[in-house]
Amino acid sequence: MSPETGETFQLDVRRLEPPEPLERILDTLADMPRDARLRVVHRREPFPLYDLLRRLGYQWHTEGADEYFEILIRS
Amino acid sequence: MLNTAGLSLDQAPPIRVPFAFFLAAPFFVLLAGVLLLWQGEAVLLTRWSPSALALTHLIALGFLTQVMLGALFQMLPVLIGARVPGATWIASLVQGCLILGTLALVAGLQWGGTVRLSLGAGALALGLTLFMGAAGVALARGRGAPRTLQAMRLALFGLLMTLLLGVLLVAGLLGVPIGGLTAWVDLHLGWALLGWVGMLILGVGYQVVPMFHVTPAYPAWLARSAAWLILSGLLIATAFTLMGWSGAAVWGFGPAVGVLAVFAVVTLDRQRRRVRPRIDVTLLHWWSAMLSALLAALVWLFGGRPELIGVLVLIGVGLGLPSGMLFKIMPFLSWFHLQHRQVAARRFDVRLPHMQAFIPERSARVQFGLHLGALSALTSAAIWPDKTWSAGLMALGALMLMGAAALLSRLQFDCYGRYLEIGRRL
């Protein structure tokens, strides 16, 4: 499935306490169509998220540094 | 480039690895309470009494180092994306050595004896070296959070120096002639409190304060220079001590104490500017620990009683801060491991409780109250050790200390029990 076809969902979790960012990301992924992408704005690199994404069959790409990270997730 | 090299929980240690450290730690505080009840006056009259040395190590090694090592085995992957190799078996070995070494060393400091002291120093040297090796590999591989990585690497060096000086001091107690023993004790203390504990609080604080309480990040000027300033100060103090100018070592300790005091002020300021105005028990513990650290720095600056500094640093910071962090870390790990198991088993029908359900806030606040009571009573007893009422205050402090440790332990076991119960359904 081409990542360009689907809609891109946005999620900013920078003002949430752990583990809410992880919960919100998983909830949003569960609710959105399979061809959609999710762009997450996070204040730290979410290492604990990656293994869950892998297990759930998602691919991701992270960019950013210091206080601003963008994680693009798609199936 | 798609990133697939993230943390794998299959490779991270099972939850029982850090929990074994966390669950064991309060028992050493109970022992410390018994020692205080039994030898209270001697402890606060002079820091050179056998009981004061024994008590210091019960808390510093049995509680503080125990919690810190357990947390590092689990949190290194979460904070910096670096795994500790062979964590499961290394952790058990490290913990076995730490418990045996602490008990033997404490018994040796209290009652003397070549076998106790050698066994204590030997077991601690083995366990801590193993830990430093394993954590060193993880820290060398770590890639995230450069300031935290830097502080943690330097903290590990601080632990190494503390250990080397500790072994040297045990050799001194066993009869090896060492000139200027008190200067070496001060250096051992300096590396332990500033180089190991202080540096680790910096490294962990840079991450967990902004993360758990959603505060602004620490300012770059502080994060860039703090760890190096502390290291430089301690190296200067070491050089002066080696050259026999122990009086000048204070010129090294001063900057290190100053940096940590600045860190404490900045931490309180960050927390004041948190996004959500809610106050939780972890925040209360942070406040009380940072204020204790600032008070200790002031007492040190004005040449106050070392026993008072000891109470503020060991009880106020060394007991309080890890307790506060455990109230976050244990529920977080329980929730996090269950979340992974749920995804792995695809059992989305099982509802996971909120993180807050693992340790009730109300009970945790009672624990904080007991801790604060113990801290206040023991601080007062350390300020006025020779008043008629100071023995009673000391006994009250010891009992509250034991109460706080017992409640902490109870809440920890409840948390683990809840984890196991939900885990069985997944």
In tens, the pLDDT along A28-74 reads 998 899 899 999 999 888 887 888 898 888 999 999 987 799 999 99
Tell how many helices (H) and how many strands (E) occur in chain B.
Answer: 15, 0
pLDDT for B54 equals: 96
Position A57, amino acid: G
List, in sequence order, the alpha helices (H) in B4-65. 16-45, 50-57
pLDDT for B2 equals: 36
Each residue's pLDDT expressed in tens, for chain B with a length of 426 residues: 333 334 445 556 889 999 999 999 999 999 999 999 998 888 888 888 999 999 999 999 999 999 999 988 887 777 677 777 788 899 999 999 999 999 999 999 999 999 999 999 999 999 999 999 999 888 888 776 778 888 888 999 999 999 999 999 999 999 999 888 899 999 999 999 999 999 999 988 998 898 888 999 899 999 999 999 999 999 999 999 999 888 898 899 999 999 999 999 999 999 999 988 889 999 999 999 999 999 999 999 999 999 999 999 999 999 999 999 999 999 988 998 898 888 888 887 888 888 889 999 999 999 999 999 999 999 999 999 888 899 999 999 999 999 999 999 999 999 999 999 999 998
pLDDT for B276 equals: 82
CA-wise closest residue to A56 among A18, A25, A16: A25
Structure tokens that stand for B411 in this block: 């809440």
pLDDT for B33 equals: 97
Instruction: Check CB contact under 8 Å for B335 and A19.
Output: yes
Chain B residue at shortest CA distance from A54: B4
Nearest to B3 among A48, A52, A60 (CB): A60
Q: From CA B370, how far away is CA B363, in angstroms rounded?
A: 11
Interface pTM, i.e. ipTM: 0.71
Nearest to B6 among A17, A54, A56 (CB): A54
Instruction: Check CB contact under 8 Å for A60 and B336.
Output: no
Its pTM stands at: 0.90
CA-wise closest residue to B73 among B150, B139, B23: B139
- Residue A68: its H or E element: strand A68-74
Q: State the smallest CA–CA distance between residue A5 and chain B in angstroms.
A: 18
Long-range contacts of B420-425 (CB under 8 A, 24+ apart): B422/B338, B422/B350, B422/B352, B422/B353, B423/B337, B423/B338, B423/B341, B425/B347, B425/B350
The reply to whether B335 touches chain A by the CB within 8 Å rule is yes
pLDDT for B8 equals: 46
Instruction: Check CB contact under 8 Å for B7 and A18.
Output: no
The reply to whether B279 touches chain A by the CB within 8 Å rule is no
Q: From CA B252, how far away is CA B239, in angstroms rounded?
A: 9
Q: From CA B73, how far away is CA B83, in angstroms rounded?
A: 8
The confidence band for A4, taking pLDDT boundaries of 50, 70 and 90, is low
Q: From CA B84, how far away is CA B174, in angstroms rounded?
A: 35
pLDDT surpasses 70 at A5: no
Instruction: Check CB contact under 8 Å for B3 and A16.
Output: no
CA-wise closest residue to B167 among B208, B219, B127, B218: B127
CA-wise closest residue to B404 among B373, B360, B379, B359: B373
Which neighbouring-strand residues pair with B260? Answer: none
For β-strands A37-42 and A8-12, DSSP reports them as: parallel
Find chain A residues with C-beta within 8 A of B276's C-beta. 17
pLDDT for B6 equals: 40
Residues of chain A whose C-beta is under 8 A from some C-beta in B? Answer: 15-19, 22, 43-45, 47-56, 59-62, 66-67
For β-strands A59-65 and A37-42, DSSP reports them as: unpaired
Which one of B276, B325, B339 makes the best mutation probe of the A interface by having the most chain A beta carbons within 10 Å?
Answer: B339
Residues 6+ apart with CB under 8 A from B421: none
Position B216, amino acid: P
On average, the pLDDT of chain A sits at 87
